[in-house]
Chains A and B, each alone.
Chain A
Amino acid sequence: MAERLRTEEMIMNMGPQHPATHGVCRLILTIDGEVINDCVPVIGYLHRAIEKICENRTYAQCIPLLDRFEYVTSMSCNWAFALAAEKLTDLEIPERAEYLRVIMAELNRIASHLLCIGVTAMDLGALTPFLYTFREREFILDLFEMTCGQRLTYNYIWVGGVSKDIPPEFIPKCREFLDIIDEKCDDYEKILTKNPIWLVRNKGIGIIPEKMVHDYAISGPSARASGVNFDIRKHDSYGVYDRFDFDVPVFFGCDCYDRYRARMAEMRQSARIIRQALDQMSDGPVRAKVTMNFKPKPGEVYSRIENSRGEMGIYLVSDGTKKPFRMRARGGSYNHLMAIPEITRGLKIADLVALFASLDIILPEIDR
């Protein structure tokens, strides 16, 4: 039977305009019917040479560029760069600024995970969770707009602190959000977690064994869903994260379903951190005394933070002038995308969509 109906392998392009590729990524699939035999990701459609442009900008001017590096969690990108520049300059950050950074980064993490879960659901055919998660995301974006004036490219966390103090109406609004977020997470879980269609589409799909996590340096929730207990906030603490009591949710299923569950659990933990930060925060200045065109000491530094989709690192080389000599950024998505050919072998095309969404790949972070 198989010999009589021998079929040729077909090469098919998925993307660059495919909506499930979350940006502009082209996947060259070698398919045998529905089964993927090979997958070659083609990247570079969104290349903007951010790292090179940063060499011609002062440190303060680099921050708006870092907003565009990974626009779903701009706060974390700003923070990673600010941390690196502060290490070079030996700056002392005011305590209130540290707390504000934690609050903003965690809010941004929740917003990013909401986007990821909503978009995953929409890619798999469920439109309702997408609308619900975007409703809560709007709430967070309103908080950001109230604080720093923008909804996506914040330019908020600066070298030496944050750009502005929060407005007085921020804290009540933020607490209002924290009160509803757990309830809303329950709502999403009711719709998704035990839904039979969701289970069929996600459980046992796109398995990333623990060894592959180490081989490809996969980080973030995707690594924690494969049983790797690694969170930079906990294990290589930065800022004031060591003052908070929070858990690192680890799952052992290694599949798309557990990556979804890891994100869900992480949102609750983020809300927990924000609650503690709001309680502990005291009044004070929010910016250290740094000029716009400050000059750090010559040297090199690597700073890393826990972004919503993995380790976000900035490598800076300074030659003592007001512009960085070299800037190199590391985002989690690149490693995730490079692992996809190995994971997808033998999967169906529809499963690739679920896998791509569950890894939460953002293309601007890969192309820069």
Chain B
Amino acid sequence: MAQLVRQFASGIYNLILGLFTTTKHLGRHAITIQYPKERWDIPERSRGMVVLLTDHETGKLNCTACLLCMRACPSGAIDIEIEKDEKGKRHLVEFKVNYHICCFCGLCEESCNFAAIKLATKFEFPEFDKANLIWDSKKLAEMGFDVPYVKPVRKKPVAKKPAAKPVAKPDGDKPDGDKPTEAKPAEQKAAEDKPEEKPVTEAKAPEVKAAEEKPVEQVPDKKEESTGPEQSDSESKEDKTS
């Protein structure tokens, strides 16, 4: 009997103690917010919508069509269409992100060396139609136009440029100093070999000079070429393993 009374008393006491704890919260302000009307601060690193970034100086996309993000994507959400011009340079034709299967892991952003793709902090893009969730490069660039980013600093854009030519060789063993001296003549040869008739080479030469004189266009050109070695490396790795 005494035990029952003690149990009863302790039960009542602890219920009151719990109620006291809950009543303490009555005076506190609410921690929830009314979402569409009120907003909260989203951290800078928040991984939301995948966007393509634009170089505001040139107005072109930073993407160099190196396909590294496509390979890094674990769910295969990125689909890139490229075309090669007569020099072997890659050009971006279409860049598609499939939001059905994108898992927002951020590996594409991590693999990109040119600050071309980023997971922005935007997160509201519901659609009524499933087909509207496959975005092309125009839409991706539009959404990423105002996204701030830090442009990566390329250390040696000139020295890396010639190394783009030897595609098949996985030249990891060569010392760095040899690359420019070896590759420069190879590039000249390639330039000479393609146009066999002399007048054509003469006609082409001023064009190249003209292109070099324009400082604005030069920057993306160099970038495009400097993707060569990494691209070739990853390609050769793919071939070996598969």
Residues of A in contact with B (beta carbons under 8 Å apart): 57, 60-65, 67, 128, 135, 138, 142, 145-150, 153, 155, 163-164, 167, 187, 190-192, 194-196, 292-293, 321-323
Contacts of B10 in A (CB 8 A): 194, 196
Which of B42-50, B85-93, B157-165 faces chain A?
A: B42-50
| Contact of B234 (CB < 8 Å), options: A164, A293, A321, A323 | A293
**Are the C-beta atoms of B111 and A149 separated by less than 8 Å?**
no
**Are the C-beta atoms of B74 and A65 separated by less than 8 Å?**
yes
**Are the C-beta atoms of B74 and A146 separated by less than 8 Å?**
no
**Are the C-beta atoms of B237 and A322 separated by less than 8 Å?**
yes
B111 to chain A, nearest CB (A): 6
Instruction: Report how many A-B pairs have Cβ atoms within 8 Å.
Output: 79
Contacts of B11 in A (CB 8 A): 196
With contact pairs A149-B47, A163-B110 given, residues A196 and B14 touching in the complex (Cβ less than 8 Å): yes
Q: How far is the CA of A67 from the CA of B75 in the complex (A)?
A: 14
Contacts of B105 in A (CB 8 A): 63-64, 67, 153, 155
Per-position binary interface string of chain B over residues 151-194, scored 1 when its CB falls under 8 Å from any chain A CB and 0 otherwise: 00000000000000000000000000000000000000000000
Query: Interface residues of B toward A: which range?
Result: 20 to 34
Contacts of A293 in B (CB 8 A): 234, 237
Q: How far is the CA of A191 from the CA of B74 in the complex (A)?
A: 45
Sample 18 A-B pairs with CB under 8 A, ordered by A number. A60-B72, A63-B105, A64-B103, A67-B105, A128-B22, A145-B43, A145-B45, A145-B46, A148-B47, A150-B46, A150-B104, A155-B105, A163-B106, A167-B43, A190-B14, A195-B15, A195-B18, A196-B14
Q: Which residues of chain B in 90-125 are interfacial with respect to chain A, using CB atoms and an 8 Å cutoff?
A: 103-107, 110-111, 119
Contacts of B74 in A (CB 8 A): 57, 61-62, 64-65
Main secondary structure of the interface of A (DSSP, over half): helix
Contacts of B47 in A (CB 8 A): 148-150
**Are the C-beta atoms of B104 and A190 separated by less than 8 Å?**
no
Contacts of A155 in B (CB 8 A): 105-107
**Are the C-beta atoms of A167 and B45 separated by less than 8 Å?**
yes
Given A64-B103, A149-B45, A194-B10, output 14 extra A-B contacts at Cβ < 8 Å. A60-B72, A61-B73, A145-B45, A146-B43, A149-B43, A150-B104, A155-B107, A167-B43, A167-B44, A187-B21, A196-B7, A196-B10, A292-B72, A321-B241
Which B residue sits closest to A164, measured CB to CB?
B45
Contacts of B150 in A (CB 8 A): none
Per-position binary interface string of chain B over residues 1-35, scored 1 when its CB falls under 8 Å from any chain A CB and 0 otherwise: 00000010011001101101110000000010000
**Are the C-beta atoms of B45 and A147 separated by less than 8 Å?**
yes
**Are the C-beta atoms of A61 and B72 separated by less than 8 Å?**
yes
Contacts of A142 in B (CB 8 A): 43
**Are the C-beta atoms of B17 and A190 separated by less than 8 Å?**
yes
Q: How far is the CA of A191 from the CA of B15 in the complex (A)?
A: 8
B122 to chain A, nearest CB (A): 13
Per-position binary interface string of chain B over residues 204-242, scored 1 when its CB falls under 8 Å from any chain A CB and 0 otherwise: 000000000000000000000000000000100100010
Q: How far is the CA of A62 from the CA of B75 in the complex (A)?
A: 10
With contact pairs A149-B46, A293-B234, A322-B241 given, residues A194 and B110 touching in the complex (Cβ less than 8 Å): no
Q: How far is the CA of A250 from the CA of B107 in the complex (A)?
A: 41
Which B residue sits closest to A320, measured CB to CB?
B241
Which B residue sits closest to A67, measured CB to CB?
B105
**Are the C-beta atoms of A191 and B22 separated by less than 8 Å?**
yes
Q: How far is the CA of A155 from the CA of B72 in the complex (A)?
A: 14
**Are the C-beta atoms of A190 and B21 separated by less than 8 Å?**
yes
Contacts of B111 in A (CB 8 A): 292
**Are the C-beta atoms of B14 and A194 separated by less than 8 Å?**
yes
A211 to chain B, nearest CB (A): 32
Q: Which of B45, B73, B234 has the most CB of A within 10 A?
A: B45
